Chains A and B, each alone.
Chain A
Amino acid sequence: MAVWCRDLAIDRWRLAEGCARGEEADAAPLVLVEDTAHGPRILAANTLARAGGASAGMRLADARTLCPALAVRPADPAGDLAFLEKLALWAQRWGPWSALDPPDGLLVDTTGVAHLFGGERTLLADALHLFHGRGLDVRAAIAPTAGAAWALARHGPDAAILPPDADPCQYLGPLPVAALRLDADVILLLRRLGLKRLGDLDGLARENLARRFRNTRSAAANPLLRLDQIFGLRPEPLLPVTDVPAPLVQRRLMEPIRHRSLLDQVVADLAADMARLLEGLGQGARRLELGMWKVDGDVLVRCLEMAAASRDPAHICRLFAARLDDLDAGFGIELIRLRASWTEPLLLAQTDLDAAAERHGTSLAGCIDRIAVRLGGQAIQRAIHHSSHIPERAQRWQPPLADPPPSQEWLAFHYRPLKLLDKPELIAVIYETPDGLPRRFRWRGQVHEIARAEGPERIAPEWWRERSTVRLRDYYRIEDQKGRRYWLYRHGVIGDGRGGIPEWFIHGLFA
């Protein structure tokens, strides 16, 4: 069964506003717009606006000249998609699984289900009745394949059902080629070729179609593929929507609480409940959300992410304790809800982790969690290689427990400093022009006499990534008279046509 919500965005906006069809705000022409680089563009228009000349895809300025009384509201495509996902889950009442058909359609598998509703005709009537009851303007159709149902829902008669004994080629023949779910340019091409109906395509020799579209692999650009899918000659896998309920525990409080010690107690209870729930599921939480509903209707939310899956109540409480310091309870909190919105499989383990931590120390993941909660997730990181020969780009940072990407081994004869300054610091250097060794330099107000030096190691800019005016770098490994070892570079050479006298920088410190 295919379902098409004709005005999904407008219907959703109307339901959010709480006004009936054609009344209140919907009684005037209204469009939903999104901002683009060329100004606002109309995504959806209600009935009156369409009658006034506005249609989806127009610029708002063009529509305003046709219909000056147009009211404008912002569109919410992400919200529409989320709504469609919820709708797909709800539509599983008519079949074991359902799939999204963005932006405004649903597909429900009703194979072998119709007798439960007393036949396909009553099933379709039931679906249309319930969708209309939700305030959605939909069309629906039932057919043996997803493609045929889609075509009938959009371009066929009302509540169409492909009869089991009818020939599908005959029945679907009069539908326009737009029913093939093709891209707009392919439809335009077919129309220019004079092919307007499915029956016209069917009359052609198959070889001619295959040769005309032999270069397009994508189904949305190849009419022959689509035709085969409609008639069931070629499989068409769909991605079903499944509902994964997030584990959730909550406490309703008889008296609103305003004090921290009571809140800590409730959080500890919730963490114990959550641990029991997750243990039953064999899961551990990676992200936890603690929502606190206040008496005045306000909601406070605190989020927590952990480096590895865990369900240890003491660990969760300790991490949340740092997050609850800046809470404003107002007149009191009356409902607290803990939700694990991201979980990962976690096998059963020993339970007294807190006592074990006192005796044997914490695990690495626990240590990282504690540091990240106080210092922030960006503060604790692991260095990884990156394939670049510019020194500061050869190292990147990633979360400490993530897997390192594969990398090549480093060349052993490249000497690299133990520490690299975040930003190379400008120094004044006396050196043999144009490109000789440095003799003396001044850094942070101190003069260093250079006793030994090795270089240059020339590192050219990455021309495939940077502009052509970036200068090369000549790196020198030097040691001054007190034995301090540094990594200097001269930025460019005299006469390279990319700037004046080259500057010197200090980039790294050797041990």
Chain B
Amino acid sequence: MIENAQIASAAPSLSPLPPGLANGLTRGLRSSAGTPRWQPGIPTGCRYAELFAPAGDASGAGLALALARDALRQKAVAQAGAPGEAADHRPFLWVQDKAAMRLSGRPYLPGLPADLRHRLIHVAAASPQDALFALEEGLRCRDLAFVIGELAGNPRALDFTASRRLALAAEKHDVPLWLVRLDARHDLGAARMRWQVACAPSPVPRWNPAAPGPSAWNASLLRAHTFHPGQWTLCDGAAVLTAAPFNQPDASHTAPPDHGGLVQGSGDRSLAAG
């Protein structure tokens, strides 16, 4: 009730929120103007996101991992003040069905981000039904940091009911799910955020301009519960996920060069402070 009162005082013209509405959701007149725009590093409250990606590259899985790490980082920042909170070392579950493994391969330990390497638990499901079962069991487990699913195509088992089951389980047990849909149509689903992902030309590395740089993706937010849709070019090169506007004429030349793990923009603080 206190949260509701704060929101109502900030925007008095909004109609009072019905109880039980999701965090960050606004309703009524002029609610469209009150809806925020997504950007990396803000808490979304979204527990179930779908990422539609082509199967011929690893853009879907890469962005899912980047978004999951972004969410983990926000959680760590939010809990930093609380005493007695240790760093989150819970494992995460990566579920793939057979078609997804055949099309895009299995996760490779040396290529994972260093903070996630020792935490991977992989499930190789033979069919989409088994993969959905494993996803739901993973969402019910309190010892998992997050769950990543990879399903190829539009399997009959993944209908709206199955999607809704996943959304409810994720929200009940507060375990985020990032479901990557490889080569899939945009069918009916209960995901709170839906992304369309493709690879983007990467920013030029500083030391070898002829080499590929850190990962970059063209991501468009198709549908979101609490945010405006939009398009971004996301880059996971530095320690954090960064976003640039999408419609750049040639993103590879205007994007900031990669400094190779150096601190960007130290400002007034000392470099030792990070």
Scan A480-511; emit 1 where CB is below 8 A from any B CB, else 0.
Answer: 01111110000000000000000000001111
Contact A418 B111 (CB under 8 A): yes
Whether B144 sits at the interface, judged by CB under 8 Å, is yes
Whether B230 sits at the interface, judged by CB under 8 Å, is no
Chain A residue with Cβ nearest B62: A511
- Chain B, range 43-94, C-beta contacts under 8 Å to A: 56-59, 61-63, 65-66, 91
Contact B56 A444 (CB under 8 A): yes
Measured CA separation A133–B57 after assembly (Å) = 75
Of A113-121, A140-148, A335-343, A374-382, the one with at least 4 CB within 8 A of chain B: A374-382
Whether B25 sits at the interface, judged by CB under 8 Å, is no
**A379-B124, A416-B110 known; A479 and B236 CB under 8 Å?**
no
**A360-B142, A375-B125, A452-B212 known; A508 and B59 CB under 8 Å?**
no
Contact A484 B211 (CB under 8 A): no
Question: For residue B63, which residues in chain A have a CB less than 8 angstroms away from its CB?
Answer: 511
Contact B212 A478 (CB under 8 A): yes
Whether B220 sits at the interface, judged by CB under 8 Å, is no
Whether A395 sits at the interface, judged by CB under 8 Å, is yes
**Contact of B65 (CB < 8 Å), options: A367, A486, A511:** A511
Whether A171 sits at the interface, judged by CB under 8 Å, is no
Chain A residue with Cβ nearest B102: A422
**A382-B121, A418-B58, A422-B101 known; A363 and B212 CB under 8 Å?**
no
Whether A417 sits at the interface, judged by CB under 8 Å, is yes
Contact B61 A419 (CB under 8 A): yes
Contact A361 B130 (CB under 8 A): no
* Size class of the B contact interface (CB-based, 8 Å): 35 or more
Question: For residue B126, which residues in chain A have a CB less than 8 angstroms away from its CB?
Answer: 375, 379
Scan A401-426; emit 1 where CB is below 8 A from any B CB, else 0.
Answer: 00010000010001011111110000
Chain A residue with Cβ nearest B141: A367
Scan B121-157; emit 1 where CB is below 8 A from any A CB, else 0.
Answer: 1111110001001100110111110000000000000
Question: For residue A384, which residues in chain B have a CB less than 8 angstroms away from its CB?
Answer: 109
Question: For residue B198, which residues in chain A have a CB less than 8 angstroms away from its CB?
Answer: 482-483
Measured CA separation A364–B93 after assembly (Å) = 10
Contact A418 B108 (CB under 8 A): yes
Measured CA separation A27–B37 after assembly (Å) = 95
Question: For residue A303, which residues in chain B have a CB less than 8 angstroms away from its CB?
Answer: none
Whether A242 sits at the interface, judged by CB under 8 Å, is no
Question: What is the minimal beta-carbon distance from B106 to any residue of chain A, in angstroms?
Answer: 6
Whether A469 sits at the interface, judged by CB under 8 Å, is no
Whether B2 sits at the interface, judged by CB under 8 Å, is no
Question: For residue B133, which residues in chain A have a CB less than 8 angstroms away from its CB?
Answer: 371, 374-375
**Contact of B107 (CB < 8 Å), options: A418, A477, A478:** A418
Measured CA separation A420–B101 after assembly (Å) = 9
Of B4-12, B186-194, B199-207, B264-272, the one with at least 4 CB within 8 A of chain A: B199-207
* Size class of the A contact interface (CB-based, 8 Å): 35 or more
Contact A382 B122 (CB under 8 A): yes
Question: For residue B57, which residues in chain A have a CB less than 8 angstroms away from its CB?
Answer: 484-486, 509
Question: For residue A357, which residues in chain B have a CB less than 8 angstroms away from its CB?
Answer: 140
Question: What is the minimal beta-carbon distance from A139 to any residue of chain B, in angstroms?
Answer: 58
Scan A361-403; emit 1 where CB is below 8 A from any B CB, else 0.
Answer: 1111011101100110011111111000001001101001000
Measured CA separation A384–B201 after assembly (Å) = 32
Contact A400 B215 (CB under 8 A): no
Scan B146-189; emit 1 where CB is below 8 A from any A CB, else 0.
Answer: 00000000000000000000000000010100000000000000
Contact A371 B123 (CB under 8 A): yes
Beyond the given A381-B122, A417-B58, A510-B215, please list 18 additional residue pairs across the A-B interface where CB-CB is below 8 A. A364-B143, A367-B143, A371-B134, A375-B125, A375-B130, A378-B124, A383-B109, A385-B109, A391-B110, A418-B62, A418-B107, A420-B105, A420-B107, A451-B201, A452-B212, A509-B57, A510-B62, A511-B65
Residues of A near any B CB (own CB < 8 A): 357, 360-364, 366-368, 370-371, 374-375, 378-385, 391, 394-395, 397, 400, 404, 410, 414, 416-422, 443-444, 446, 451-454, 477-479, 481-486, 508-511
Residues of B near any A CB (own CB < 8 A): 56-59, 61-63, 65-66, 91, 101-102, 104-112, 118, 120-126, 130, 133-134, 137-138, 140-144, 173, 175, 198-202, 208, 210-212, 215-216, 218, 236
27 pairs from A and B in contact (CB 8 Å cutoff): A362-B137, A367-B141, A367-B143, A371-B123, A374-B130, A380-B121, A380-B134, A381-B124, A394-B110, A397-B122, A404-B118, A418-B111, A418-B112, A419-B61, A419-B105, A419-B107, A420-B105, A420-B108, A422-B101, A444-B56, A454-B211, A454-B212, A479-B202, A483-B201, A483-B216, A511-B63, A511-B66
